A and B are shown apart, each in its own frame.
Chain A
Amino acid sequence: MRLCVYSVLIFALTSSAQDKPKLDLHGDRFPGLTYEQLTPAQRPIADRALSGRGTIGIFNITLRSPELSEAMRGIFGGRTEPLLSNRQNELAILSTARFWTTQYEWAVHHRVAAQAGVTEDTISAIREGRRPTTLQPDEAAIYNFLTELLNTKQVSDGAFQALKEQLGEKRIVDLIALVGFYQTVSLMMNVDRFPLSGNQKPELEAIAKPLPLASTVSFTTGNSARFTPLHSEEMTERQKAFLDLVESGKLEGGTAGPLKVLLRSPELGEAILRYGAL
């Protein structure tokens, strides 16, 4: 066992000493960057990606702006614990990819979704722009919430309450952050026309209503806020630390407005306020 670890280590050391860094980046409207083309500001970001988890799809796009690369990593990356279950995550990602008709995201995630337990019935229905009929209760709450939010830019009281019963308020914020990230990835890939790999064919047809609303949605005219304010006795240490940071004024220029909402997910909150101060 120990020998095996050592040999892997030696292999890693020797191969990194011999090979020049190799960036395997692709794009269409944003042509794939090579390592030699990178500016001194871009190189450390590429080095970190190469020595870590590698480069994800939009890396070639965001690297055009080193500042944005760093900020997006702060907002959306660097989270270690899964916030929703894999099945819930993947359902949200597929719904977002279908709404944006982003071929690459779909090609990658419909397989991951199946592995995570989203049924083939559900995946086919979303691909074809039909409402899935055999969703589990948590899936139905997520799907309905997202169809309303993405199509109408708001959600009904019914959809909010149903999701809150399934996930709780904190994970509603986490779900929105996840969708925010995948919307950003989707719009970047669509602008680039990010190419599918190898012999993959696009699976999503362009349709007018890719993520159809339920016919029964009724939007209430109420206008009171939905997330209940937290009292300090209810806050976790992490939430208190976030609040202290905001009150210390170190996040200059940040949007303090949605603090009450962001407090549900302090890691996201910090990153968002930091980006807002860019």
Chain B
Amino acid sequence: MAPYERFHMPLSARLRELVALITIRAWSSQYLWYEHRRAASQTGLNDALINTIAEGKRPAGLGPDEEAVYNFCTELLRTTHVADATFNAAKRQLEERGVVEIMGEIGYYQTVAMLLNVDRYPLPSGIAPELKQLANPIP
């Protein structure tokens, strides 16, 4: 069996959590949101930003790297493609390698969200679901 060594990807923990939150919000996956919102806050994403994503609103006042990631992820998840300007902004901030890692994160969280949503995986008792059903959760 392969050893379970940890890999380290250069995409920062803060940006990885931002990608996770956007993908989780796109899938309205209550359990993953519950698991990730605390982790996201610990990586340095501010609580106002996290709450805005939970409410399905477009956050204001993002840093340049956060804004490039937000636009890239939301455009890809809403329309299945990205415009040149969006791609180039993400590449400028994160280089090709960072863009590829964002895509890997989205792919991973989509897969886990599908498993949990199909199951209707329950929240721990006493925890209320935080994500409302919205027509467009990632504007």
Asked whether, in the complex, the Cβ of B120 is within 8 Å of the Cβ of A224, the reply is yes
- Taking CB atoms, residues of chain B closer than 8 Å to A186 are 80
Interface residues on chain B, size class: 35 or more
- B83 to chain A: closest CB distance in Å? 11
Are the C-beta atoms of B7 and A262 separated by less than 8 Å? no
Could you tell me if B100 and A61 are in contact, using CB atoms closer than 8 angstroms? yes
Of all chain B residues, the one with the shortest Cβ separation from A33 is B96
A11 to B8, CA, bound (A): 40
| B81 within 8 Å of A (CB atoms) | yes
Shortest CB-to-CB span from B67 to chain A, Å, is 18
Please tell me if the beta carbons of A262 and B115 are within 8 angstroms of each other in the complex.
yes
Chain B interface mostly = helix
Contact A68 B121 (CB under 8 A): no
A122 at the interface (CB under 8 A from B): no
Which residue from chain B places its CB closest to the CB of A177 in the assembled complex? B111
Contact in complex: B106, A74 (CB < 8 Å): no
Q: Say yes or no for A109: interface residue by CB 8 A criterion.
A: no
A180-212 CB contacts (< 8 Å) to partner B: 180-181, 183-184, 186-188, 190-191
Q: Which residues on B sit within 8 Å (CB–CB) of A177? A: 111
In the complex, chain B residues whose CB is within 8 Å of the CB of A30: 96, 100
Q: Tell me the nearest residue of chain B to A250, going by C-beta.
A: B4
Determine whether the beta carbon of B80 is less than 8 Å from that of A187: yes
Take A191-B76, A272-B112 as given contacts and tell me if A153 and B27 are in contact as well, using a CB distance cutoff of 8 Å: yes
Provide the residues of chain B in CB contact with A3, threshold 8 Å: none
Do B119 and A225 have beta carbons less than 8 Å apart? yes
- Interface contact A183-B31, CB-CB below 8 Å: no
Closest to A278 in B: B7
Please determine whether A258 and B120 come into contact, CB atoms closer than 8 angstroms: no
CB of A2 within 8 A of chain B? no
A275 touches B108 (CB 8 A): yes
Which one of B76, B110, B114 has the highest number of Cβ atoms from chain A below 10 Å of its Cβ? B114
Contact of B113 among A65, A99, A153 (CB under 8 A): A153
Q: Mark A213-238, 1 if CB is under 8 A from B, else 0.
A: 00000000011111100000000000
Contacts of A25-80 to chain B: CB distance below 8 A? 29-30, 61-62, 64-65, 67-68, 70-72, 74-75
- With a cutoff of 8 Å between Cβ atoms, the chain B residues found around residue A275 in the complex are 108
In the complex, chain A residues whose CB is within 8 Å of the CB of B2: 74
Q: How far is the CA of A278 from the CA of B17 in the complex (A)?
A: 12
A226 with B118, Cβ < 8 A, contacts A65-B9, A70-B7, A274-B4 known: yes
**Given contact pairs A68-B104, A153-B28, a sample of 5 additional A-B residue pairs in the complex whose CB atoms are under 8 Å apart:** A176-B115, A184-B103, A184-B107, A188-B107, A257-B116
Q: Rank and list the top 4 A-B pairs by shortest CB-CB distance, nearest first.
A: A184-B107, A180-B111, A67-B7, A64-B100
